[in-house]
């Protein structure tokens, strides 16, 4: 049974799990930011730059003090995996329910009666934070490639 399980589990070298995680974080961050900017009125409005600025300041704080710490923990977890691991291990198994809850909350907020102009800074903050944190994954990949080249 163990050989059968190993045979059908889609496994990749763990560096690819780090790349996938980084791309996932960046993609979701980009999606959230594009959504937020679509909700904002044209830049001639005086509120828009303030809302964007607020979102970007929060993105820095969330990215540096929140999501980057999570990314580092995830990178260390991936690095402790065997040389080849299941493709879905780019994220801890216990995180999948949290992701489902966050997606559900995002859908709920997008379809709620809350004005989009108020949601936009929050989406910029979370999306920007995810993009900032994704840099941790790319730095790890870069260091891995530099080490391989140096061998």
Q: Where along the chain do its domains lie?
A: 12-146
Q: Which residue has the higher pLDDT, 46 or 79?
A: 79
Please report, for the chain, how many H helices and E strands are present, in that order. Answer: 6, 2
Task: Classify 10 as helix, strand or coil.
Answer: coil
**% of the chain beyond a pLDDT of 90:** 54
pLDDT at 5 over 60: no
Give the chain's mean pLDDT.
88
C-beta separation of 136 from 70 below 8 A: no
pLDDT of residue 118: 87
3-state DSSP percent of the chain in helix, strand and coil, to 5: 80, 5, 15
Contacts (Cβ under 8 Å, ≥6 apart) of 139 = none
Global model pTM greater than 0.75 = yes
C-beta separation of 59 from 129 below 8 A: yes
Contacts (Cβ under 8 Å, ≥6 apart) of 121 = 36, 51, 52, 54, 55, 58
Mean pLDDT, rounded, for 43-58: 84
Structure tokens given for 61: 């704080």
């Amino acid at each position: 049974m163990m050989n059968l399980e190993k045979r059908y589990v889609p496994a990749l070298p763990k560096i690819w799990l780090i790349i996938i995680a980084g791309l996932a974080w960046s993609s979701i961050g980009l999606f959230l930011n594009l959504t937020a900017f679509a909700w904002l009125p044209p830049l001639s409005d005086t509120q828009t730059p303030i809302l964007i600025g607020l979102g970007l300041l929060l993105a820095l704080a969330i990215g540096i003090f929140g999501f980057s710490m999570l990314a580092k923990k995830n990178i260390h977890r991936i690095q402790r995996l065997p040389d080849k691991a299941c493709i879905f291990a780019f994220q801890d198994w216990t995180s999948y329910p949290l992701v489902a809850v966050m997606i559900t909350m995002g859908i709920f907020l997008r379809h709620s009666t809350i004005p989009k102009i108020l949601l936009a800074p929050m989406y910029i903050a979370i999306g920007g934070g995810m993009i900032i944190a994704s840099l941790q994954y790319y730095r790890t990949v870069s260091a891995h490639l530099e080490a391989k080249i140096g061998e």
